[in-house]
Structure 1
Amino acid sequence: MALAAVFAVVAITACDQQNIVELEEGVSTEADVRERFGAPEAVWDGADGDQIYEYNRQPEGYQNYQITIGADGKMSALRQVLNPDNFARVEVGMPMETVRKMLGKPMKITTYELKGETHYDWRYHDGPNTSDSKIFTVVFDRDYHAVSTGSVPDPALLRGQ
């Protein structure tokens, strides 16, 4: 079972890389993006009439892509958003919706009723090797405002899965 999951992640990653290579900022259209990546997980309104398409690879993968389609219908940006630079932008007091738009759909959401907390977890690579896999967590209070963040090694790697 674990081996099948590894093959699925490798296949998704390889397909994503091929699709990314085939797209060009300022040239590729919304139709080109949808042809290669399919329907987005979510669509966010951006600045100046832009739309931001979310392509989530959680929980099995380690990426969340955001592709910006300009008002002219052309792709203006393609970013993998699960990285330490974006994590550093998460601030105490930030609303959950803002974090969600910044990082994409988390791999797991856990609510701790007695503590009045909800944890959003994202799996990511913090380096070129699979041994650099980590979990980034944002802790939200009852009103869904960020109270803390942190990263730990991916427990799946510690269990050898």
Structure 2
Amino acid sequence: MGKSENTLIALEAALERIAKGKPKHIPTTRKLSVRAVEEEASLGNGSGYYYPEFVEKVKKTKANIATDNGIHVQTDIQSVRSKLNEQKRIKQNYKEKYESIKDQLALFAAAQHHLNDKLVQALARIDDLNYENIDLRKQLAKANRNNITALK
């Protein structure tokens, strides 16, 4: 037997153990995949992909286990479509949040501009009142000076 045949036998045995639910090297809760079978067989990463028939066998076994458990197995196209729909939903959600926050920002900017305008008007009014106060103090001082009578 060559090395290739030994590797394939080890992979087959590992797949068999996982399918029966009694793996030696991986947890029983781990999902079935080519990588899980490679780890169960104590082989390197990617060594199972040299055997396309074996990869197909893993996929069929996975589908059989899923149907035995009552789980509907999706085809590749269905799973890609469901992921795409999920991504579209997430993108739409973020877009709605972005638009909402953008509208809030516009309202805050308008309020800020309005308050800034009111502040400028108030400061101008304060300056006007200060000048008026100075003028009134001068007039009061002048009136008080005119009311001074000489003592005899």
Please indicate the TM-score interval, normalised by the length of the shorter structure: under 0.3
Q: State TM-score, norm by structure 2.
A: 0.24
Q: State TM-score, norm by structure 1.
A: 0.23
Q: Which fold has the larger relative contact order, with Cα–Cα distance below 8 Å and residues 6 or more apart in sequence?
A: 1
Bigger radius of gyration, 1 or 2?
2
Greater share of residues in strand: 1
